[in-house]
């Protein structure tokens, strides 16, 4: 059986972003309880808030200019960890790239 994908959230301790990182990890683990191999929280500094999936950067606060909406984050994780899976209300068309909604990934 192949190893399940793992998420890593690197957060700035000086910015007090542990709670935000923990909430996002809880949301991901609740949504993808059978699809993820785990979520790791990694303390960092310098204003970092990066999210990696199997080592690939999928969100960077610095590059994207802010934090991901949880809906966007779930879609990004789903596209790799459980392609084709429906996310219910998190799959609405607004905000998805290429659907006429706000494309948060292009910022």
pLDDT (tens digit per residue) in 51-70? 999 999 999 999 999 999 99
Q: Are 39 and 70 a contacting pair, CB within 8 Å?
A: no
CB distance 77 to 32 below 8 Å: yes
Q: Which residues contact 107 (CB under 8 A, 6 or more apart)?
A: 64, 65, 66
Give the whole-angstrom CA distance, residue 29 versus residue 75.
Answer: 14
Average pLDDT over every residue of 92-98:
51
Average pLDDT over every residue of 32-54: 97
Secondary-structure class of domain 6-106 per CATH? alpha beta
User: Which pLDDT band holds residue 20 (cuts at 50, 70, 90)?
Assistant: very high
Domain locations in the chain as residue ranges: 6-106
Q: With cut-offs at 50, 70 and 90, classify the pLDDT of residue 93.
A: low
What's the chain's average pLDDT?
87
Helix (H) or strand (E) segment spanning residue 26: helix 18-31
Place of tokens 């960077």: 60
């Amino acid at each position: 059986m192949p190893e399940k994908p793992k998420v890593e959230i690197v957060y700035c301790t000086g910015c007090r972003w542990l709670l935000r990182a923990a909430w996002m990890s809880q949301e991901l683990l609740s949504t993808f309880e059978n699809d993820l191999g785990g979520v790791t929280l990694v303390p960092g500094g310098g204003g970092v808030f990066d999210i990696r999936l199997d080592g690939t950067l999928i969100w960077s606060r610095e590059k994207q200019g802010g934090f991901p909406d949880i809906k966007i984050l779930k879609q990004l994780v789903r596209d790799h960890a459980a392609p084709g899976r429906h996310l219910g209300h998190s799959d609405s068309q607004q905000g998805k790239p290429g659907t006429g909604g706000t494309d948060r990934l292009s910022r």
